[in-house]
Amino acid sequence: MAAKNFTFRIRRFDPERDKEPHFEGYSLDVSEDMTVLESLLRIQTEQDGTLSFRYACRGAVCGSCAMVINGRIDLACRSQVQVLNQETITIEPLPHLSVIKDLVVDMDLFLSKNQTVQPWLQPIGHEPERENLVDPVQWAEAEPYTNCILCASCYGVCPKAGQDPDYLGPAALAKHYRFLADIRDKADETRLALVNNDHGIWGCDMVWNCVEICPKGVPPTQGIGKTRARIRRAQRDQEKGHT
């Protein structure tokens, strides 16, 4: 496939200069296999050094470059421009997070929610002398949730996150289930109490957008459903204990 010309319509906002966000257009010849991230780097180098965006690994690993590309959230470093198959590529920052500049959003809110679910292993008793081995069958339950790269794509696509700024959101709740499903972790009671409220596990409207958009195959809605089942089971057990 030969190089083709595309127009990049990029949402710009500089809080020191602009009252409102606006779009600016850039024309660029894009070769086969060139990604949206590479295009942004070319635009920044060759046309407008003030254009701001975040990236690090360029290989879909660090989670820094999530943005809205032609109306769909994706990692810019894994989105090939020619495959998008549209003459105009519209690029906007992730929704539901405040914009620091252009395509750079403030991740503090998103990351603080992740901390709320205590994303660290809480075993009981002495640390093992060597590894704490886990049976592969049991690990299979937690494993998909360990692949999160904290890109916030799921948070940006979640309608509930847009409505309720206190909602923990798909990534934090997926992380929560990752530890709940880990048989080495023994803090189930504390963990379930952390999310057993309307801003936690019961806030999800089960839209499944997060599962569809996740570039790493993490299934947050599935984890939320399983956590709900665990809470119901714990409540039933408690009721039985009282009768």
Q: Give the Cβ contact number of residue 53 at 10 Å.
A: 21
Among 151, 161, 168, 180, which residue interacts with ligand SF4 (rule: CB under 6 A)? 151
Specify the stretch interacting with ligand FES by CB under 6 A; choose among 15-23, 55-63, 109-117, 223-231.
Answer: 55-63
Alpha carbon distance 127, 242 (integer Å): 35
**Exposure string (b/e) for 90-117, b if CB count within 10 Å is 16 or more?**
bbbbbbbbebbbbbbbebebbeebbeeb
Among 11, 58, 184, 199, which residue interacts with ligand FES (rule: CB under 6 A)? 58
Q: Is 218 in the site for ligand SF4 (CB under 6 A)?
A: yes
Q: Is 43 in the site for ligand SF4 (CB under 6 A)?
A: no
Phi first, then psi: give them for residue 105, nearest 5 degrees: -105, 160
Helix (H, G, I), strand (E, B) or coil at 179: helix
By CB under 6 A, what part of segment 59-98 binds ligand FES? 60-65, 75, 77
Binding-site residue total for ligand FES (CB under 6 A)?
Answer: 12
Specify the stretch interacting with ligand SF4 by CB under 6 A; choose among 89-97, 123-131, 133-141, 142-150.
Answer: 142-150
Dig out the tokens for 142 from the structure. 């937690």
Binding letters toward ligand FES, positions 97-126, x by CB under 6 A: ------------------------------
- Answer yes or no: are the C-beta atoms of 75 and 60 closer than 8 Å: yes
Q: Give the Cβ contact number of residue 80 at 10 Å.
A: 15
Among 93, 200, 220, 223, which residue interacts with ligand SF4 (rule: CB under 6 A)? 220
Q: Compute the chain's Rg from CA coordinates.
A: 21
Q: Is 195 in the site for ligand SF4 (CB under 6 A)?
A: no
Residues that bind ligand SF4 (CB under 6 A): 63, 148-154, 170-171, 174, 213-214, 216, 218, 220
